[in-house]
Chain A
Amino acid sequence: MKKVTIDPISRLEGHGKIEIFLDDDGNVENAYLQIPELRGFEQFVVGRPAEDMPVITNRICGVCPEAHHMAATKALDDLFQVVPNSAAKKLRELFYSSFFVTDHTTHFYALGGPDFIVGPDAPAGERNILGVIRKVGVDIGKQVIACRQRNHEVIKLLGGRGIHPAAGLPGGWSKAINEEERQGIEKTARANIEFALFTLKAFDEIVLKNSVYLDLITSDTYRHETYYMGLVDNSNRVNFYDGMLRIVAPNGQEYVKYHPCDYRQHIAEIVMTWTYLKFPYLKNIGWKGFVDGASSGVYCATPLSRLNVADSMATPLAQEHFEKMYETLGSKKVNGRYLPIHFRLATHWARLIELLYAAERMLELATDEEITCPDVRVIPSGVKGEGIGCVEAPRGTLTHHYLTDERGIVAKANLIVGTTNNYAPIAMSIKKAAQKFIHNGIVDEGLLNKVEMAFRLYDPCFSCATHNLPGKMPLHIALKNNSGQLLQEIRRD
C-alpha cells in the first residue's frame, strides 16, 4: 500500500472516524479506526511526586478511573519496594471486583447486548438499553440501575470517593472496613451473583437459542486467529488484580508467561507513518502487518482473550459457564485446557462469564476472615527509581510504568492502556467486515452496522478523548484510494 498521511482527525463534535483504503480494483486493502491523540501526558506528570500518580492517572478517563488507580497503586508498591499485606491485597481486589461488575454490566446492557437482544439489523437508534427494555421488559432496566447503584456504593465506601478513588497507597489501602460494612458488601455481592446468573440466562435464551445469532457469532466475518494475553494466577486461572501475564498462541499452546515488570522484553510498539497510533505487538514474534496467524506478532487483550489464556475460572459458577461456552462454540480440550475461541463476537459472552466471576470473587473476599482486619498498610522504606504496576482493566491489560529520581519525583511515565493492546485487532476486525461489504468500489447496505459491531465488541476506550458522542455513536467512514484520495464518505450523525 502506498504510504498515506491521514489528515488530522475531524474536530467535528463527536465523530468516530474510520479510514478504509481501497486498492486499484476498488477492494479493501486496509482499514483503521481513528482515535484522537492525547498529548503531553509524560510532560504533565514530570516533576510530580510519584505518590500522586494514583489520583492523577485516574483522571485520564471518566469511565475506568478505578483501573488506572489500581495500576498506579501497584506501580507505587514496586517503586517504593513494599509488599502490601494479605488484608490490603484482599481489600483492593474486593474494590476492583465491584468495579468490574459495574463496568461489564454497563457494556452488556447498553452496548454489546442490544445488537443481539434487539437485533443486529435493527435501526441504530433502537439498538440500545431502551430497545432492550421494550423487548425484555421494564424490570431489566430497574435491575441494571440497581446493580450500578449498589456497586457504586461499595466503590465509594472502599475507594473513598464515588468517581475518582483515593484509597490506594504504596504498601496497602487507606480504608479498612468494619463488620457492618462487610455485611453490606456481602449482600451486594450476593445480589451481583443473582444478577449475573439472570443475565447469562437471558443471553442463553435470546442469543444462544437463536440459530441466526449463533451463526453470526460463529461467522468468518468476525473471526481472527491471533495470540491472546491475560493475567493468570498460580493455577493459570483468570485474575483481574494480580498474577503473571500469560500469552497463548493461536493454537492454544502457551507461548510465554512473564512477570508484568518484564513487559518490555515481550511487547514492542510500531509506529506507522500514516497515523499517530502506535500498534503494540509481540516483540519476539515480530511485526508482520495486520495479519492473523502464529507468525504475526498481533495479540489481543479482551475478556475473550483472558478466558482463552486461562486453564479455568477460579470460582465454581463461572467455571460452569466457562465450560459451557467452549463446548457450545466447538472448542476441544487439548492437554487439559480448551483451545482458544477465535470468534470475536464471543467476547460478549466471555464478558458475562467475567461478570459472574467478579461477583463470585467479590463474595469470596467479602466473607474472608481477613477482610475486616484493621491493619491494611505496610509502610514503605525506600525508593527504587522505577515502578511497574499491571492489572486487567475491563478492556484489556493495563500497565503503568514510572521512572523517578531518588526522591520519588516522576521523571517519566509510560502507560499501555487496555484499548491500546487491541488497536491492531480492531483494525483487522474492521477491515474484515469492510471487505465483506465493499466490492469493486461499491459499498453494500449494512456496512455501518457490521463495521460498528466489529469494533464495539472490543469496547474501545476513547472516553478520555472522545466522550462526546451525541446519542448513538455517530460514524464517519472515509473511503480512500491507495493514494489517499477521498472517494466516498458514509456518515451517520
Chain B
Amino acid sequence: MKLVVVGLGNPVMSDDSVGIKTVRELAKKLPANSEVIIKEAYAGGLRLMDELIGYEQAIIVDSIVTDKYKPGTIIKSDLQTSFISRNLSCSHDLDLISALELARISGLKCPEKISVWAIEAKDIWTFSEMLTAQVSQAVPLVVQEIEQVIDGLVGNLTNMEPVPGTNRRQG
C-alpha cells in the first residue's frame, strides 16, 4: 500500500490549520521505517492534485465549516460525496475531482481511494497559529483513527454522517 496522508489548510489561520497540525502529530507517532508518506498542502485544486500523484491511496485531513455540527466534530467522507471540506477546491483553478480527472487524462497515476477526514472548525478567519479549544481536542482522536487505518484495523471510510460511536461530537 503506497499511502499518502495530506494535512491541508492554512497554517496561520486558526482552525484552518487543524489538518496540518494533525499530520504533524501523526508523523511523530509513525515508526521510523513506516512507508506512509506525510505531507502538508496549503491550497486545493491543481496544487493539491500535485501532492497526490503517484500514490495508490490518500487520506486528506482538513477543516470544514458546515454550521451543522459542533466545532471539533469529525466528519469522514470520500471525494464522491457532495459534502466536501473547505480547502479541496481552489478559487483560482478547479476542484480536486476535476484536477484528478485532468491528471488521469494526462496519463498520471492517481490514488484509487481518497478519504477525507474533516474537522468542523469554529474560527477560520483569524490570523493565529493556535486552534480553538474544541477543535484542538479533535486532533488526537483523528490521529488515533488514522493510525488504526494505517494498521489495517478500519476499512470503511465512506460514512458521511456522524454516527454515535464512530464520529464524535466535541464541545
Residues of A within 8 A of B (CB): 11-14, 16, 36-41, 43-44, 56, 59-60, 62-63, 65, 106-107, 110-111, 128-130, 133, 138, 141-142, 144-145, 148-149, 152, 163-164, 459-473
Contact = CB atoms under 8 A, between A and B. Distances in A.
Interface in B41-84: 41-47, 50, 64-67, 82, 84
Contacts, number: 139
Contacts of A460: 91
Given A38-B127, A59-B10, A467-B87, A141 B95 contact: no
A11 B69 CA distance: 13
A164 B127 CA distance: 17
A469 B90 contact: yes
Interface residues on B, range: 35 or more
Contacts of B91: 16, 460-463, 466-467, 469, 473
Interface of B: 10-13, 40-47, 50, 64-67, 82, 84-95, 97-98, 101-103, 105-108, 125-128
A129 B46 CA distance: 11
B53 to A, nearest CB: 9
B90 A40 contact: no
B43 A463 contact: yes
18 contacts: A12-B65, A44-B12, A63-B43, A106-B46, A110-B46, A111-B92, A129-B94, A130-B105, A145-B106, A163-B42, A164-B42, A463-B90, A467-B87, A467-B89, A468-B65, A468-B86, A468-B87, A469-B91
B92 A63 contact: yes
A191 to B, nearest CB: 16
B12 A60 contact: yes
A121 B10 CA distance: 35
Contacts of B89: 14, 467-471
A133 B90 CA distance: 19
A44 B125 CA distance: 12
Nearest to B108: A145
Contacts of A471: 84, 89, 94-95, 97-98
B163 to A, nearest CB: 21
B67 to A, nearest CB: 6
